[in-house]
């Protein structure tokens, strides 16, 4: 079969680009087509680690899974991780190259574009199809110069483009027509059609609008994808809301603060989807409710987020929570916050050199941020309350922990190392492992440790696979996938 590429761009962020690429990856695999996902530039604090120890966006790791592949750095060669409102850590081919502000990165884009093209060419040489995800909207006028995320990249490799829009937000026809009108003539020519996402209701009531859109733009509507109730796919960046359980189902109340720079929020997806667990996410200026189990999540700017927690009353809350027997778990940055001191001598997360902060003081540990980031996938066994359960996860951190006394480790890793901390009274756990709840054995053991009795088993990984199949089945039903493949092949030949 001739090789082809297709780029999915959106009228807005969260229009459905990631989900459509995920669905198409699964559908092409079902047709026996070797396909790889690709996103030239991603901006997200939700990342994944490849088996080789490289860091990429979470969405591309999920898309790789849908395609039956292990995630690889070439699937997302440029990753931007915001650490302030105006700056981000820049990761190229899986490794951090430094922090840049928006102006500095704009100047750096010519280098970033070459890195993206190199990765794309390697994928195109290996696979029959490459499905490319855009970023945000291609019609952001202020970002058009040196663009490597949307049409600038599509033009560079000469591939066809689909534009997807979310009808659930309203204004779908204005979004599609306006986006197309703001593109150049050559960019408009490579748009082979539109997809409308998250439609609810009777399609017959939408038909007149679809007819108008096709007549107005001379572009076909390739599909109208329905809203899927309860659908779950790991979020690329936005923190997903928690399903609410009824009182009989919820056996454990979990509270998690949402930090200004929360990272890897998919850590608690398995918890919020568990039938017996109620997760409450607490943002700024919200009352912190009582809980059985509190999780301090990862952070891209630990000292800044620690100050946020103190200002929001979490110091007093944690003290009371622990006094009454509650359980606390810190993950990565949250683990560091539970220690005694945090030091950033190189200014990796802060503008100031030698920045220091006092932690909450519950773990006899100091953390020093070092230039070399720890990036690795891990397997092992956790050891709490005399339970030994298999676990898997991944590490993404610059912090190096220094314990001031002998401690009980949270987990024994397959590589012979230890991870984390368990307090002598068994109330506090700290770990550098993200994704710890995704493994069904570890999930069960941790929920029992947190106080849940007669908890139902839950296989998050199996659930995720079922959801990807449900998404793909919906796209199969509401799009002509075989015709889309032919369009892409014809574009490649032209």
Which of these, 472, 474, 488, lies nearest to 31 by C-alpha position?
Answer: 472
Sheet holding 78-82, edge to edge: 41-43, 78-82, 87-92, 95-101
Q: How far apart are CA 251 and CA 10, in angstroms?
A: 40
What DSSP state is assigned to residue 170?
S
Q: Give the residue among 370, 386, 390 at the shortest CA–CA distance from 441.
A: 390
Among 25, 332, 398, 488, the one annotated catalytic: 332
- Catalytic option among 72, 93, 434, 439: 434
> Are 234 and 59 spatial neighbours (Cβ–Cβ below 8 Å)?
yes
Question: What DSSP string runs through 287-340?
Answer: PPPP-SEEEE-EESSHHHHHHHHHHTTHHHHHHHHHHTT-EEEEETHHHHHTSS
Contact yes or no for 91/97 (Cβ under 8 A) = yes
Check if the beta carbon of residue 245 is closer than 8 Å to that of residue 275.
Answer: yes
332 classed as catalytic: yes
Is residue 25 part of the annotated active site? The answer reads no
Where does 312-418 have alpha helices with state H? 314-323, 333-337
Task: Give the single-character DSSP code of 221.
Answer: E
Measured CA to CA, the distance from residue 300 to residue 93 in angstroms comes to: 19
Burial of 243 (0-12, 13-18, 19+ CB in 10 A): middle
The strand pairing partners of 368, in sequence order, are: 343, 400
Residues 458 and 272: their CA atoms lie apart, in Å, by: 11
What stretches of 31-96 show up as alpha helix (H) in DSSP? 58-66
Measure Cα distances from 404 to 191, 299, 331 in Å: 60, 24, 20
Whole-Å CA distances, 94 to 56, 398, 484:
6, 14, 32
What positions carry a catalytic annotation?
332, 434
């Amino acid at each position: 079969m001739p090789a082809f590429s297709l780029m999915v761009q959106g009228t807005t962020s969260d229009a459905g680009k990631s989900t459509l690429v995920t669905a198409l990856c699964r559908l092409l695999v079902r047709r026996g087509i070797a396909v790889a996902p690709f996103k030239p530039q991603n901006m997200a604090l939700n990342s994944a680690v490849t088996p080789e120890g490289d860091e990429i966006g979470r969405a591309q790791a999920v898309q790789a899974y849908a395609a039956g592949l292990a995630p690889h750095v070439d699937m997302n060669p440029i990753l931007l991780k915001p650490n302030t409102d105006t700056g981000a850590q820049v990761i190229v081919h899986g490794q951090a190259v430094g922090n840049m502000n928006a102006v500095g990165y704009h100047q750096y884009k010519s280098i970033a574009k070459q890195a993206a093209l190199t990765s794309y060419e390697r994928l195109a040489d290996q696979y029959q199809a490459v499905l490319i995800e855009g970023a945000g909207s291609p019609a952001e006028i202020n970002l058009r110069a040196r663009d490597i995320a949307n049409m600038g990249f599509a033009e560079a490799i000469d591939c066809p483009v689909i534009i997807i829009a979310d009808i659930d937000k309203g204004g779908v026809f204005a979004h599609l027509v306006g986006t197309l009108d703001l593109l150049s003539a050559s960019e408009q020519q490579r748009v082979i059609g539109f997809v409308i996402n998250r439609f609810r209701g009777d399609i017959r009531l939408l038909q007149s609008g679809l007819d108008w859109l096709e007549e107005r733009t001379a572009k076909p509507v390739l599909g109208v994808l329905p809203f899927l109730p309860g659908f779950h796919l790991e979020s690329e960046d936005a923190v997903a809301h928690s399903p609410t359980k009824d009182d009989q189902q919820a056996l454990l109340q979990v509270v998690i603060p949402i930090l200004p720079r929360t990272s890897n929020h998919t850590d608690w997806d398995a918890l919020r989807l568990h039938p017996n667990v109620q997760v409450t996410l607490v943002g700024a200026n919200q009352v912190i409710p009582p809980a059985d189990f509190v999780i301090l999540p990862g952070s891209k700017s630990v000292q800044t987020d620690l100050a946020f927690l103190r200002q929001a009353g979490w110091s007093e809350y944690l003290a009371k929570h622990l006094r009454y027997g509650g359980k606390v778990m810190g993950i990565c940055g949250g683990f560091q916050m539970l220690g005694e001191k945090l030091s950033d001598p190189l200014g990796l997360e802060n503008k100031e050199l030698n920045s220091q902060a006092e932690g909450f003081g519950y773990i006899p540990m100091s953390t020093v941020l070092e230039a070399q980031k720890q990036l690795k996938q891990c397997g092992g066994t956790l050891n709490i309350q005399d339970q030994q359960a298999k676990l898997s996860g991944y590490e993404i951190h610059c912090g190096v922990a220094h314990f001031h006394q002998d401690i009980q480790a949270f987990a024994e890793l397959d590589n012979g190392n230890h991870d984390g901390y368990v307090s002598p009274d068994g109330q506090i756990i700290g770990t550098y492992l993200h994704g710890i709840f995704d493994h069904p054995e570890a999930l069960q053991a941790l929920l029992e440790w947190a106080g849940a009795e007669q908890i139902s088993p839950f296989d998050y990984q199996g659930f995720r696979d079922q959801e990807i199949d449900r998404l793909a089945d919906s796209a199969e039903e509401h799009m002509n996938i075989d015709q889309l493949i032919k369009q892409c092949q014809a574009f490649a030949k032209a």
